[in-house]
Structure 1
Amino acid sequence: MVAASFWSLLAPAIAMTPGDGFKQVVPAAVGFVMGALFLFSLDKVLPHLHHNFKESEGPKSSWQRTTLLVLAITLHNIPEGLAVGVLFGGVALGLPEASISGAVILAIGIGLQNFPEGVAVSVPLRRMGLSRRKSFFYGQLSAIVEPIAGVLGALAVGFFTPILPYALAFAAGAMIYVVVEEVIPETQQDGHSDIPTLGFILGFVIMMSLDVALG
C-alpha cells in the first residue's frame, strides 16, 4: 500500500500538475492531507474495534464486538477502493500519467492483501462462536465497500477532470493513514516484529518493481 501510494497515485498526481517547484506539488500535498484527515474523521465518528480486540475507537456504542470489528475493516477498505477507482478513472479519460498497467497492478496488489484481511475478520468471528457460514459472510461483507468506493472514485474523476491530481493524492493520503495508524502497529505487537518488518520491505520492493517495470 505504501509503494502503491507513491508510484501509482502521488507520482502521477505530481506529473499531471502544470508548473514547477512548489506550485507543481501543491495539489498532491493538499489532496494527501485531505485524504488522511478524511480517514481520521471517520475513525473518530464511527465506533469500531481494532484487530487485537482490546482497543475500540470512536464514540461509545452498545454494538456487538463482531459488528465493531467488521466496521473497522470496512472503514479501512474505503481508501483502497477509492485508489483503484480513481486510477482507472484517469485511464478512462486517456491521461498519459494514469496507465492501465499501473491501475491493474494496484488492483492486484490490493486484492492480494485482501485475502489475509478477510481471514483477520473471519477467524476471530469464528472464535467468538459464530458459525462458519456467518464468519465467512461477514469477512466478505467487510470488503463490499471497495467496489462501491471504486465506482464513486471513477465517477468523480470522470465528472471533474481537473480534480484528478487531488483525487489521486487523496486516495494516497487515506491509504497511508491506514498503514501508519492501523497496519504497522498491529504487526509490531506480541514481540513479532522482525518478520513483519522484513515482509514490509519485501512487499514494498515487489510493488515498486512491478509498477516501474510494467507502468
Structure 2
Amino acid sequence: MYQDLIKYLEGIDPILAAFYATMFTWLVTAAGASLVFFFKTMNRAVLDGMLGFTGGVMVAASYWSLLAPAIEMSEGEGFTKVIPAASGFLMGALFLFALDKTLPHLHINFKETEGIKSPWQRTTLLVLAITLHNIPEGLAVGVLFGGVAAGIPEASIAGAVTLAIGIGIQNFPEGIAVSMPLRRMGMSRRKSFMYGQSSAIVEPIAGVIGAFAVTFFTPILPYALAFAAGAMIFVVVEEVIPETQQDKNTDIATLGFIGGFIVMMSLDVALG
C-alpha cells in the first residue's frame, strides 16, 4: 500500500502532492480533535506524554528529514558547506521568534498569554498558539515536495511522504490539546472540535507556499529545509517542552519525547 501511494504521488504534480500530504496532516489533527465527542477531559499525565511525543517527532524530523538533506545538498567543503543550513536554521528560529512576540496567543495551561495585547477571546488565542506550531510543519512537507519538483536528487517523494506521516502522527495529540481544554471550559462538543481542527488549516497553505517557493527558486532549497527545521526546534524548546513541565509528569513527558524521536527516526530511515 505504501509503495502504491509513492507511485501515485510520483505520477502527479509535486505541488499537488504537497497539498494532498498536508491535507492528510490536517485530517489527523481533526481526528485528534474529534475525541472531544467521546471525552470531556483527558488525564493531564496522558496529555503531557503525548505532547512530549510531539516534541520528539519534531526534533527527529528537524534533523533526519530537513537538516541532514540540507547539508548534504549544499556545495563546498568544511564551514562553507554548512553555511546554508546554519543560516537557514537561524532564520527559521528568528521567524518563529518574531511571530511569537507579535501574534497574540495563549498557552494550553491558560495561564500564559504572549504576543501583543489583544481583546480577542481566550479560545481564539489558544487556537493561534497551536497554529504557530503548524506553520513550520506544513512548510517542511511542502519544501520537500518542492525539491522533488525542482529535480533535486536529495529530495524524494518517499522522504516527503515519510515526513508527512511523522507530522501527521504528532498532529493527533495537538488536536486533542486544543479541543479538550475548550470542552473543559464548557464549550459545546461541536465548537470544541471545530476550533481544534481549524488550528491545522494553515498546514496545507504553508505546504503549497513552500513547494511553490522551492520550485521557482531552486537554490533556496537547502535554506528552506533548514528554515523549517529552525522554526520547528524553536516551537519545541519555547512551547512544547515547557508545557509538559507544568505539572508533575516530567518523567512521562520525557519518555514520550524519547518515544516520538525513535518513531520519527525509524520512519525516516526505514521509509525515507
The bucket for the TM-score relative to the shorter chain is over 0.9
Q: Which residue of structure 1 aligns with residue 52 of structure 2?
A: none
Separation in 1, partners of 2:201, 2:271: 28
Per the normalisation by structure 1, the TM-score is: 0.97
Give the partner amino acid of 1:41: A
Give the alignment partner of residue 111 of structure 1, picking from 168, 175, 199: 168
1:155 corresponds in structure 2 to 212
Q: Please give the secondary structure, in 2, of the residue aligned with 1:209.
A: helix
2:163 partner SS: helix
Give the distance between the partners of 2:130 and 2:256, measured in 1 at CA. Answer: 21
Asked if the contact 2:175–2:197 (Cα under 8 Å) also holds between the matched residues in 1, the reply is yes
Partner AA of 2:99 in structure 1? L
- Are 1:73 and 2:130 matched, yes or no? yes
TM-score where L is the length of structure 2: 0.77
Counterpart residue identity of residue 84, structure 1: V
Counterparts of 1:87-102 in structure 2, within 5 Å, are 87-102=144-159
1:26 corresponds to 2:92: no
- In structure 2, what is the equivalent of residue 51 of structure 1? 108
- Of 178, 200, 212, which residue of structure 1 is paired with 2:269? 212
The alpha-carbon deviation at position 130 of structure 1 amounts to 1.6
In the alignment, structure 1 residue 35 sits paired with structure 2 residue 92: yes
The one-character-per-residue Cα deviations of 1:63-106 (angstroms, maximum 9, x if unpaired) are 11001001111122100000000011112222121122211111
The alignment-based identity, stated in percent, is 83
Could you tell me which runs of 5 or more consecutive residues in structure 1 were left unpaired when the two chains were aligned: none
Instruction: Name 1:138's counterpart in structure 2.
Output: 195
Task: Give the Cα–Cα distance (whole angstroms) in 2 for the partners of residues 120 and 61 of structure 1.
Answer: 22
Which whole-Å CA distance do the structure 2 matches of 1:70 and 1:114 have between them? 14
Give the length in aligned residue pairs: 215
Q: Counterparts of 1:195 and 1:92 in 2: how far apart (Å)?
A: 41
**Structure 1, residues 98-149: CA drift from partner, whole Å, max 9, x if none?**
1222111110111111111011111111122221111111111110000100
Partner of 2:64: 7
Higher mean displacement: 205-214 or 186-195: 205-214
Question: Are 2:166 and 2:267, in contact at CA under 8 Å, matched by a contact in 1?
Answer: no
> C-alpha distance in 1, partners of 2:79/2:142?
27
Q: Which amino acid aligns with 1:146?
A: E
Q: Please say if 1:60 is aligned against 2:121.
A: no
RMSD of equivalent CA atoms: 0.9
- Equivalent residue letter for 1:182: E
**What's the CA shift string for 1:149-200, capped at 9, x where partnerless?**
0000000001100000000000000000000001111112211011111111
1:128 to 2:185 alignment:
yes
Where does structure 2 lack aligned partners over 5 or more consecutive residues? 1-57
Greater CA deviation, 176-185 or 127-136?
Answer: 127-136
1:176 aligns with 2:233: yes
Q: Following superposition, which runs of at least 4 residues in structure 1 exceed 6 angstroms of deviation?
A: none
